Structure 1
């Protein structure tokens, strides 16, 4: 864990903060003067996010697999006695995206992987950190997908739909503490590792088709999602909870 100049400010915890949208969200929160704990499985990626931020001294890092109990415990240990103002669960991936075959072991692998990568990476850290969250200011933002709304994408879509359901259930439980819980459901967002990691090749080959599926004629950019997360983490977003917000250029409406 890196060293910070302050131990009094509450933390913003970004699960999956080493790459993609999580990286952009972490950098944005640092520009707002917040201390940010970024979580990921690759130490070098986390170090690069810290080095490239506008205030490296505000960035904490912890290498952990958020989909496991041990990883969630490591995140809690890294937070220590500090309070948590916001949690952004941005980890995820296309494990299980392709339709599995009919062999039981194939089904088990595809569905288990999709749920662990896209659901457990949020549930385990969030539940572990809830006792450390600030009452009346705490914010939980889950990064889902329009696939969970459309039902397109096999086990992946189901996992993202489950994530949105968890966000709503969580909102009911933590509302009495003044904590909010919402899910952002992005459409196609360019300049991330998402499609490359799923074996689809360079995302640029899919950009034109994805843009054609929107109402405004362009694909998303990481900053589109980051701006929505910034709002939900802010005081201005304090009366929004239990929602699934599609940040997709109107893609869902085109269906």
Structure 2
């Protein structure tokens, strides 16, 4: 990627599918340069082909839940200033029972923490020196599972993500950088269930919709609209918050 200090980047991890894809496409439509990051090249290239401004959308194949993958991300950034970082990478894995043996527990919990916590911490800490003072925005995509405790290791990892977001906000605030966590509820049209070998069936969607106050499940664009605001100048006085976007499934005071 050619360095251009006049055009800061917006980085979106997990940008090849679902919410990450919709967020990335929205930001390129607004005229921003976006770098999407993921482990699989095909979804990243597919996202790029869907953009109305493909010259604004760059890709980096990297597993940013590891320090090796984070180094690959830094190579792709190539020293460019970073205006916003949206950590949308994550997942619940294969939905298996964590088991009871020390080996099984170790494997299940390590996988959940790497996918949903380390995948945010490692790359964010790496790019912090490149973030634009006075304008930088960090958005972590959490989950209502981190608020209501449903989801075992996944829920714990998402709860920890909110804690990391608050700590991060205290460290970057004096630089004029904000950090917030979005906690979506059930969002259809993503790879969340398919990645675990389970389709989001009509029955599942109907059941999830019945638990909301507005009578429908979420769509990626519901999350995208919230991210668009959080990384805009208008949200410069909002930081260290966990904002729930779930149709009223979980009510937080």
Q: Which runs of 5+ in 1 are unaligned?
A: none
Does 2:211 correspond to 1:229? no
Q: Distance in 2 between matches of 1:97 and 1:154?
A: 10
Q: Distance in 2 between matches of 1:77 and 1:58?
A: 18
1:190 corresponds to which residue?
188
1:247 to 241, 245, 249: 245
- CA-based RMSD of the aligned residues comes to 1.5
How far did residue 161 of structure 1 move?
0.2
Larger mean Cα displacement after TM superposition, 217-226 or 192-201:
192-201
1:30-56, CA deviations, whole angstroms, 9 ceiling, x for partnerless residues? Answer: 011000000001111111111110100
Does 2:24 correspond to 1:47? no
Larger mean Cα displacement after TM superposition, 227-236 or 203-212:
203-212
Q: Distance in 2 between matches of 1:144 and 1:97?
A: 17
Larger mean Cα displacement after TM superposition, 202-211 or 216-225:
202-211
What is the number of residues matched between the two proteins? Answer: 252
1:86 to 72, 84, 87: 84
Determine helix, strand or coil for the equivalent of 1:192. Answer: coil
Determine helix, strand or coil for the equivalent of 2:251. Answer: helix
1:154 corresponds to which residue?
152
Determine helix, strand or coil for the equivalent of 1:252. Answer: coil
How far did residue 81 of structure 1 move?
2.1
Larger mean Cα displacement after TM superposition, 117-126 or 71-80:
71-80
2:33 corresponds to which residue?
35
Within a 5 Å distance, the mapping from 1:191-230 to structure 2 comes to 191-230=189-228
Q: Distance in 1 between matches of 2:200 and 2:229?
A: 31
1:165-208, CA deviations, whole angstroms, 9 ceiling, x for partnerless residues? Answer: 00000000000100000000000001111011123223433100
Q: Distance in 2 between matches of 1:204 and 1:142?
A: 29
1:137 corresponds to which residue?
135
Q: Distance in 1 between matches of 2:189 and 2:225?
A: 16
Q: Given that residues 96 and 156 in structure 1 are in contact (C-alpha distance below 8 angstroms), is that contact kept between their aligned partners in structure 2?
A: no
How far did residue 97 of structure 1 move?
4.5
Q: Distance in 1 between matches of 2:83 and 2:236?
A: 12
Q: Given that residues 18 and 45 in structure 1 are in contact (C-alpha distance below 8 angstroms), is that contact kept between their aligned partners in structure 2?
A: yes
The TM-score normalised by the length of structure 1 is 0.95
Q: Which runs of 5+ in 2 are unaligned?
A: none
The TM-score normalised by the length of structure 2 is 0.96
1:214-248, CA deviations, whole angstroms, 9 ceiling, x for partnerless residues? Answer: 01100001000000000000000111000000000
